[in-house]
Structure 1
């Protein structure tokens, strides 16, 4: 364990973090959290099937053609977000217990749950993109204060090289904060664009299913026959 710590301490990046003070350690922690959130969201979105939609489009084609049994079978049990909303819309449209308003409300409930899962973690990315540069600026301000305190206490014997070194280390935290905030902001915008696209697709899918719904609800047992 001691040798591992010694190796870490010898790394240039570790030295920069150590020299930058406690704000640099916070920024380094935020960078790790940002990476973890991005990887988690990629895995969650893949499991949610936000990049899919083939089965939902197929179900919509069958539904529009009046082939209700095949339409519900095309999305039954499918894990993708669009397929789940399509199944909810078709299922409630075929269920005589639901009038159109209730069917739309139930479909909207399923869509809201799906969109919530698609947007999880985005507030954390937004917070990191906001506070990381502020932490960097705070570290710079504290470092500059310390550097000028040393200058004041040194009087006429102040070493310009030491002062420049202290200012350089202080400015390092601002650069580190921006280096964390920029990727976090880019990831946030990308994930938000995915969620917005998914919301538009779900709304369009549900509307087209209800517009093409049969005038009289078909019992689910008959549709599955």
Structure 2
């Protein structure tokens, strides 16, 4: 019998061998998988880190001034296009002297920070699982080794090496499961973080492309808007 013939039975047998520690690690793996699948869908739907099309639309300054860029952006999906449309609206409001430049920069920084914060949701859960899964596995191994050596002590002089070896491999099983859960979770988290950094850079380029004509046309000094770090790096390993 292999895993695919009766997966539920095999999982029960696996938990029976590894004990509650393996059961806990399997629960963490299910949570991590659910978060990873959700983030993958979210990043794909919002086109995170793919702002090249938006920047291409904004390359023509005359289109921005005439409002043609908004029409083109209306047919595009994703966070980058939304930010560009919002920034163009604020730029037009500044041209009409409805808002001050400082208010526009503050509004754009807040909008960008909100986007980044939304994209980083779930990162702490993945980071926690990546860090705690090996520790839980090691804890299970320590408990298993204690049990194995207790059995060795009770056996006295009639020591059966196969019994000791069996107890040791069962104890090491929890560490292996913990690492198996932590490694793909850590890789997925690193990938998502890199996509968020790409999106942050795209937002800064979009905002600069829209606001720079305003600053140069009005003859005012302008400082580039830096998208704030809404969360410190959660993946430090």
Give me the TM-score of the superposition, normalised by structure 1.
0.85
Q: Secondary structure at the match of 1:79?
A: coil
Match of 2:142 in 1: 141
Contact 1:111–1:202 (8 Å) recurs in 2: yes
Contact 1:56–1:74 (8 Å) recurs in 2: no
Displacement of 1:10 in angstroms is: 4.1
Match of 2:153 in 1: 152
Cα root mean square deviation, aligned:
2.1
Structure 2 unmatched ranges of 5 or more: 1-5, 219-237
After alignment, is 44-53 or 162-171 more displaced?
44-53
2: CA distance, partners of 1:82 / 1:211: 17
Equivalences, count: 210
2: CA distance, partners of 1:48 / 1:54: 13
**1:16-73: CA deviation from partner (whole Å, max 9, x where unpaired):** 3321111101111111111111100011112222154355224312335654310222
**1:98-118: CA deviation from partner (whole Å, max 9, x where unpaired):** 211111111111111111121
Match of 1:183 in 2: 184
Displacement of 1:85 in angstroms is: 1.2
Contact 1:62–1:70 (8 Å) recurs in 2: no
2: CA distance, partners of 1:27 / 1:160: 29
Q: 1:64 to 1:156 in 2, by over 3 A?
A: farther
Structure 1 unmatched ranges of 5 or more: 1-6, 217-225
Match of 2:133 in 1: 132
Give me the TM-score of the superposition, normalised by structure 2.
0.81
Contact 1:62–1:68 (8 Å) recurs in 2: no
Displacement of 1:178 in angstroms is: 0.5
